């Protein structure tokens, strides 16, 4: 079983991009704290979301927004421009709960989850849209 469940705050604005085939992908980092007082430490985690989730994150969340994430831990590798093989560990998001907005001048605001314009209710993101 490979399940990650955590909450945290975005460390910077999410990066929304599109693959050559048109799929939305959003990368962001979240910070969460462990311990209290002098023993408190902050851990940073890379997160990737796809398709409808990626677009919603890019539209509604910004630096400082609090989110709850459930997903799985993945490793991936790539070759950089100098030909050096690089590795990273990230959370591939399955569900993302928007726990609070980042309000303030110039920041994105959160008016609730994205809604389906035809049904008028919360937008369902089908499991089929997740490319894994």
Q: Which CATH class is domain 4-129?
A: mainly beta
How many Å apart are CA 42 and CA 40, to the nearest integer?
7
* pLDDT for residue 37: 86
Give the list of residues 6+ apart from residue 111 with CB closer than 8 angstroms, or none: 60
* pLDDT for residue 7: 92
What is the residue-level pLDDT of the chain in tens, covering all 132 positions? Answer: 899 999 999 999 999 999 999 999 999 999 998 888 889 999 999 999 999 999 999 999 999 999 999 999 999 898 999 999 999 999 999 999 998 755 533 344 444 555 444 444 444 445 555 454
């Amino acid at each position: 079983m490979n399940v990650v469940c955590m909450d945290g705050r975005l460390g910077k604005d999410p990066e929304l991009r599109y693959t050559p085939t048109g799929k939305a992908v959003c990368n962001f980092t979240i910070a969460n704290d462990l311990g209290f007082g002098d023993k408190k430490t902050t851990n940073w985690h890379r997160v990737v979301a796809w398709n409808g989730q990626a677009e919603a994150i890019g539209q509604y969340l910004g630096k400082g927004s609090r989110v709850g994430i459930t997903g799985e831990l993945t490793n991936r590798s790539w070759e950089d421009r100098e030909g050096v093989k690089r590795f990273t560990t990230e959370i591939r998001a399955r569900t993302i709960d928007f726990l609070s907005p980042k309000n303030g001048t110039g920041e994105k605001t959160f008016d609730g989850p994205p809604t389906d314009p035809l049904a008028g209710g919360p937008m369902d993101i089908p499991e089929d849209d997740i490319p894994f």
